[in-house]
Amino acid sequence: MVALERAEFDPGHGNGQSILYLNVALMVITNILMILRLYVRGVMAKSLGWDDLLAVVAWGLVVAFSCIEIVLLTKGVGYHLQDVPKETLFQLLSLFPVDKLVFISAGGFVRLSILACLPRLNRDRSFMTCAYGAFVATIITAVTSFLFVLLSCSPVSDVFNAAKPDRQCVSKYSLSRMRWAHSIISTILNIVIFGLCIWVSSSTNRTRAKVINMTLMLLLGLFAVVSTITRLILLLTTNMNVDITYTSLRVAPFFSLEINAGLWCGCLSAFQPLFEWTNNHYYNHYNMRKLSRSSAHDPLNDSWHRDYMTANPHVSIHGQPRDLKGDRMASDADGFAMLDNERGIKLTMEFSVHVEDRVYTGERSEDIVSRTPAWNAF
């Protein structure tokens, strides 16, 4: 009797504590990344799109799935079947279809959010064709699996009422085959999406910010693919109809890891403006420090510099033309605006070449050259 009470009211003594801690940690990380994503897209870049809407829907479904996984721990998951009271077992079996429907929906929206974000990074025609093909395949897979589970009993309300006797439902064998088919197709789709991410990373300009962003995105994508393959192997090698409350504990972590890692991958692809802003901020800060170290003395006070400026009146420093005395000219008509990353000294030299017909005076070329401004400057 003590075991029965523990199974129903005291999940802290079961074997599902690792699932509890895992889902709590995943929810915290997912919430932080999604809030940061919406801030970057909505406030910094001001470029919210359909991919962000799909990601918000996926966010709600992923968090809901983690909450359902935690609730299932209070209904007997992690205990052996004989230790779970009959009423609690019926509640658990009634929640399983809800868990499946939310997982199918969450996985579908996570994949759609990633596929909708990829065209922002690559608009190549062949790439767009593959992305749209994966998009359509994801919708078909998610809708078909969702409807199969939802309509597995007649009437539909019996799907969520395992305690009702004489239910008109499909066999457990058919449900297992559907679960396997959905897992296999999901694995293929995840591999295809991962391949599209590699395609994007190899075709974009490899700045430092983009390399970091793409590397993290590919690592998370690889982790999601590995989680999907592991989940598929466990489903194919585990008999879920025997001691279902305990055997489901083996597969449970990989469901949460797969959809959360996929959502994180989509968030990283949306963090491109943040990585670019960080890279530009670091670059400008580095240039300012470099300029401050190299500008310990004022070049205008140097005698060579004054002579050089006198001989070359059209030299401009920092985009400001100077007169023969080396002072700044009042007019900046010939100047130019510097970019944010051009914090150093820019020299602009103007040359004017004139060809004239002249009468030969008998002077040597050395005498003529010695009187030119270029020779004096040298």
Residue given tokens 């205008």 in the structure block: 300
Q: Which residues pair with 320 in a beta bridge?
A: 317
Burial of 234 (0-12, 13-18, 19+ CB in 10 A): middle
Integer CA distances (angstroms), 125 to 119, 132, 137, 266, 269, in order: 10, 11, 18, 22, 20
Other Cβ atoms closer than 10 A to 206:
11
Rounded Cα–Cα distance for residues 76 and 88 (Å): 7
The full set of domains in the chain, from first to last, is 2-281 (1.20.1070), 300-377 (no CATH)
Q: Tell me which of 255 and 214 has the higher pLDDT.
A: 255
Q: Tell me which of 160 and 122 has the higher pLDDT.
A: 160
Residue given tokens 């962003």 in the structure block: 213
Other Cβ atoms closer than 10 A to 261:
23
Burial of 139 (0-12, 13-18, 19+ CB in 10 A): middle
pLDDT in tens, 234-271: 988 888 778 888 888 888 999 999 999 999 988 887 77
Residue given tokens 């999406």 in the structure block: 193
User: What local confidence, expressed as pLDDT, does residue 201 receive?
Assistant: 79
The token pair that represents 298 in the structure block: 């004022």
Rounded Cα–Cα distance for residues 160 and 153 (Å): 9
pLDDT in tens, 270-329: 777 666 655 554 444 444 444 444 444 454 444 444 544 444 444 444 444 444 444 544
Q: Tell me which of 207 and 125 has the higher pLDDT.
A: 125
User: What local confidence, expressed as pLDDT, does residue 363 receive?
Assistant: 52
Rounded Cα–Cα distance for residues 244 and 80 (Å): 8
